[in-house]
C-alpha cells in the first residue's frame, strides 16, 4: 500500500509539471548563506532553454536576468533570506536563444529546527503577454491624456446624478474653477435654472434611449457669475453590464459667435428699417406724380393725349402698389403675388367698369417672387387686364364676362396666364411684331426684363401665357 501511495504521488507530481506553463524551483540555503538550485520542475527547459545544471548558482541566475534588473533581483534574494513573508518580483529575463521575456518570481523561505532558513521555494510565471498589454494600455492612456489636455474644446464627464467626475483644462478655464471645486459640483450647479427642464428632457428622450444627443445650445454659469453660451453634444457611458453609468460631453464656447450674430441681427434690423423707409418714400413719390398728373390733366383737351396720360397713370399706380406691398411685407425682398395681383385687378375693375358686371378670378396662391420679377408681372397684368376690360366685352356681350389671372410653378419655371372669355381678336396677332403699343410693351417686358416667352391664343376669348425661369 505505501508503495502504491508513492506511485500515486509521483503521478500527481508529473501531472502538475505537465499542465502548468511555469516552472517550480527549490533553492538550498547552505552554510554562510550560499545558494544552490537543488530542484526545478520539468518546464524549466521549456521556458528557459536551460537544464537545471545550467542554473545552479546565483551567478548563473544573473546571466538569465536582464542587466538593468540585476539590482532589483539581488534585493529580492536578500529579502527572501531575511523574511518569512512571501515575496514577488517582476523582471526581464533571457531565454537561452536570446529572446527577452518578462517573468514574475514568487518565493518564500523555509526554516530548519534552528530557526535558520534552509530553503527558498518558489515559482516562475511568464508575463510577457500581460506586460505587452499593459504597455499598450499605458500608451493608449498617455495618448488619451494628451488628447484630453490639449483639446481646445472643453470636455466634462458626470455620473448619472450629474456629479462631475472628470474634466479637462479647457473646461476649467471656461468656467474659472479649480478641479477640486468642480468635482464637488453637479452640472445643475453650473447651469442656469431656465435650462434644467430642457436638459432633463434631453437626457430622458435622447441620451438614455439613443446613446447620444444632437448638438444643442445652452448656457453655463461661470465662477464669477457671468453667463457663457455654449454648444455641446452629450454621450452615454455604460458599465460592463450595459447599464447607464454616466455621461460625457464636448463643450464649445460660442460667446464670440453669439456676439457676431447679435451684431448682424442689429445691422439687418437697421437696414430693414432704412429699406422700408425707401419703399415708403418711393410709393409716396409715385403718389405725388399721380397727383401732379391729375392737376394738369384738366388743361389738356386732346383726347389722344388724355388717353395716353390715363394709361401712364395706371402703370404708375401698378408700380406704386408694388412698393406698398414691399413696405407692408415681412420680407422686404419677396412679394406674395396673391394679395398683390388681387389688389391690382380689383383697382382696375373699379377704374374701368361700372357696377359688378365683369367678374375677375385671381389665383396665385403660394407664389412668391422677388421684386425684380414681381414688378414686370404687375405691369403685364395691368396692361392685359386693362385691354380686356376695355375691348373684350362689348355692350351686347351677355355671356357672363370673366377675366382670370393665374400663376403656377413647375420645376424652375413660373407660368403667368391672363385670359378672358370675351370676343377675342378680330385678326391674328403677331407676337414678334405686335401692332398695338400695349402689346409691344408686354412683349418688351417679357423678353428684356423677365427673359421669358409670350404665347397668345384666340379661342373663345383671348389668352396670354408668359413663361419665365425663377
Q: What is the CA radius of gyration of the chain?
A: 48
pLDDT of 208: 92
Instruction: Tell me the C-alpha distance between 90 and 86, whole Å.
Output: 14
Is the CB of residue 378 less than 8 Å from the CB of residue 341?
Answer: yes
Phi, psi of 104 (to 5 degrees): -115, 125
Q: Name 97's Cβ contacts closer than 8 Å, sequence gap at least 6.
A: 49
pLDDT of 5: 53
**3-class secondary structure, 40:** strand
pLDDT of 418: 95
In our burial notation (b when 16+ CB lie closer than 10 A, e otherwise), range 266-292 reads eeeeeeeeeeeeebeebbeebeebbee
Place of cell 413660373: 414
How do beta strands 453-457 and 402-410 pair? unpaired
Place of cell 441681427: 265
Is the CB of residue 214 less than 8 Å from the CB of residue 201?
Answer: no
pLDDT of 11: 47
**3-class secondary structure, 394:** coil
**3-class secondary structure, 84:** coil
Structural domain boundaries of the chain?
Answer: 14-132, 151-253, 256-332, 352-470
Instruction: Tell me the C-alpha distance between 109 and 4, whole Å.
Output: 31
pLDDT of 332: 57
Is the CB of residue 118 less than 8 Å from the CB of residue 66?
Answer: no
Q: Domain 352-470 belongs to what architecture?
A: 2-Layer Sandwich (3.30)
Fold that domain 151-253 belongs to in CATH: Beta-Lactamase (3.30.450)
Do the domains 151-253 and 14-132 match in fold?
yes
Q: Which CATH class is domain 14-132?
A: alpha beta
What is the mean pLDDT for each group of 10 consecutive residues in the chain (470 residues)?
51 47 77 77 71 72 83 88 86 81 87 84 84 72 59 85 90 92 93 93 92 92 94 90 90 90 81 70 80 84 80 76 65 78 86 76 90 84 88 82 94 93 82 78 88 89 91
Amino acid at each position: 500500500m505505501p508503495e502504491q501511495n508513492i506511485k500515486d504521488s509521483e503521478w500527481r507530481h508529473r501531472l502538475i509539471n505537465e499542465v502548468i506553463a511555469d516552472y517550480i524551483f527549490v533553492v538550498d540555503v547552505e552554510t554562510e548563506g550560499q545558494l544552490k538550485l537543488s530542484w526545478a520542475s520539468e518546464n524549466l527547459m521549456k521556458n528557459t532553454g536551460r537544464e537545471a545544471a545550467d542554473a545552479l548558482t546565483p551567478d548563473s541566475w544573473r546571466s538569465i536576468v536582464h542587466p538593468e534588473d540585476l539590482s532589483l533581483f539581488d534585493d529580492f534574494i536578500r529579502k527572501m533570506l531575511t523574511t518569512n513573508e512571501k515575496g514577488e518580483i517582476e523582471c526581464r529575463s533571457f531565454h537561452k536563444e536570446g529572446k527577452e521575456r518578462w517573468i514574475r518570481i514568487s518565493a518564500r523561505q523555509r526554516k530548519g529546527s534552528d530557526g535558520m532558513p534552509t530553503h527558498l521555494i518558489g515559482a516562475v510565471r511568464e508575463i510577457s503577454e500581460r506586460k505587452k498589454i499593459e504597455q499598450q494600455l499605458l500608451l493608449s492612456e498617455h495618448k488619451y491624456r494628451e488628447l484630453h489636455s490639449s483639446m481646445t474644446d472643453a470636455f466634462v464627464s458626470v455620473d448619472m446624478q450629474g456629479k462631475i467626475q472628470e474634466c479637462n483644462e479647457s473646461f476649467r478655464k471656461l468656467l474659472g474653477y479649480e478641479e477640486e471645486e468642480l468635482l464637488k459640483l453637479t452640472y445643475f450647479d453650473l447651469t442656469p435654472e431656465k435650462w434644467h427642464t430642457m436638459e432633463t428632457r434631453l437626457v430622458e428622450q435622447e441620451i438614455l434611449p439613443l446613446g447620444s444627443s444632437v448638438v444643442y445650445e445652452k448656457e453655463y454659469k461661470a465662477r464669477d457669475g457671468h453667463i457663457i453660451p455654449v454648444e455641446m453634444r452629450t454621450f452615454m457611458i455604460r458599465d460592463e453590464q450595459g447599464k447607464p453609468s454616466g455621461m460625457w460631453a464636448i463643450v464649445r464656447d460660442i460667446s464670440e459667435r453669439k456676439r457676431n450674430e447679435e451684431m448682424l441681427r442689429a445691422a439687418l434690423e437697421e437696414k430693414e428699417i432704412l429699406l422700408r423707409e425707401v419703399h415708403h418714400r418711393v410709393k409716396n413719390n409715385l403718389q405725388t406724380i399721380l397727383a401732379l398728373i391729375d392737376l394738369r390733366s384738366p388743361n389738356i383737351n386732346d383726347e389722344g393725349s388724355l388717353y395716353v396720360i390715363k394709361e401712364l397713370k395706371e402703370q404708375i399706380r401698378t408700380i406704386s402698389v408694388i412698393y406698398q406691398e414691399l413696405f407692408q411685407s415681412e420680407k422686404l425682398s419677396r412679394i406674395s403675388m396673391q394679395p398683390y395681383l388681387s389688389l391690382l385687378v380689383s383697382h382696375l375693375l373699379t377704374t374701368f367698369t361700372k357696377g359688378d358686371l365683369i367678374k375677375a378670378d385671381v389665383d396665385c396662391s403660394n407664389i412668391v417672387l422677388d421684386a425684380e420679377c414681381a414688378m414686370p408681372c404687375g405691369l403685364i397684368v395691368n396692361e392685359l387686364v386693362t385691354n380686356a376690360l376695355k375691348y373684350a366685352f362689348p355692350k351686347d356681350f351677355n355671356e357672363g364676362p370673366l377675366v382670370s389671372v393665374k400663376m403656377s410653378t413647375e420645376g424652375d419655371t413660373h407660368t403667368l396666364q391672363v385670359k378672358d372669355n370675351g370676343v377675342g381678336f378680330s385678326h391674328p396677332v403677331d407676337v414678334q411684331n405686335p401692332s398695338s403699343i400695349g402689346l409691344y410693351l408686354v412683349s418688351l417686358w417679357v423678353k428684356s426684363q423677365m427673359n421669358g416667352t409670350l404665347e397668345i391664343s384666340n379661342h373663345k376669348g383671348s389668352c396670354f401665357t408668359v413663361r419665365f425661369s425663377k
